[in-house]
Structure 1
């Protein structure tokens, strides 16, 4: 009787080990497949975001080699202006004009309802154009500006077109 009990326990232990092994090997395969699917989804998402970012930055001085070459005047004996340093200078100069008591003059809008218009966001498109977003807390708009880097390295702006959105 003792031998048959030991035999039954031994067979039961082998069956338990066999079922445990098959369960964990199946679980490992399932986890690996799930990991592969998630990794593929994430790679696709990263590629999509990278493509969208490249499309969004298509019109920017940072990615426009022709516009960058405009500032390389070394062939004609002129001065080389680094676009990496120019972008923050132009942006800062335009945003500094927000301190004007009548609002930023390059929004193309006068004070309305006692509220001045200020520029919030600036994007330098190329060697000549800037697009900017402005508001006066009630009304919002966008402006297309021309900018010029003069020989004395001063920067001048000119309003080309402005758009004020309906309330």
Structure 2
């Protein structure tokens, strides 16, 4: 009789422990499913944002890329040259040739980042540490395959 009661108590203890472990694992799985859905929504939102940002980027602009290819240029080599040409302007002595604003004391205006919009336009930002702004640049390649940059518009604001 004692053996039967002892066995029944052990079985009851194992059942309760197993049930608790099973319930905990179901709760964990449910929370993971909820997190997965949340992350899927975040991924969709980020993909939509990437799609929106790629609308104004030459790498996703087939007509602009075709313009360069039809003109006989290798796009994979030309795009870095366009950016490098702008960054090289940072190395000139004195006033920056493209930035129409004077820098603050002891600092120098420099172009930080560049986005080539299409086969004619570029936007970039610049700063000297205290002031910053953006440039809208028109560019073209002349008959001697030299890049020329023309600042169409710019603005400056205090950081």
Common fold: TM-score over 0.5: yes
TM-score (norm 1): 0.86
Bigger-Rg structure (1/2): 1
Structure 1 residue runs without a partner (length 5+):
none
TM-score (norm 2): 0.90
Between the aligned partners of 1:18 and 1:166, the Cα distance in structure 2 is 69
Q: Aligned residue for 2:109?
A: 117
Q: Aligned residue for 1:135?
A: 127
Aligned partner of 2:145 among 129, 143, 153: 153
1:62/1:15 Cα in 2 relative to 1: closer, same or farther (>3 Å)? same
Specify the SS of the correspondent of 2:98. Answer: helix
1:16/1:158 Cα in 2 relative to 1: closer, same or farther (>3 Å)? same
8 Å Cα contact 2:69/2:75 also seen in 1: no
Between the aligned partners of 2:18 and 2:130, the Cα distance in structure 1 is 68
Structure 2 residue runs without a partner (length 5+):
none
Aligned partner of 1:20 among 8, 17, 20: 17
Which whole-Å deviations, capped at 9, do the CAs of 1:136-165 have from their partners, x for residues lacking one?
222111110011123432211011111111
Between the aligned partners of 2:104 and 2:5, the Cα distance in structure 1 is 93
Between the aligned partners of 2:24 and 2:74, the Cα distance in structure 1 is 57
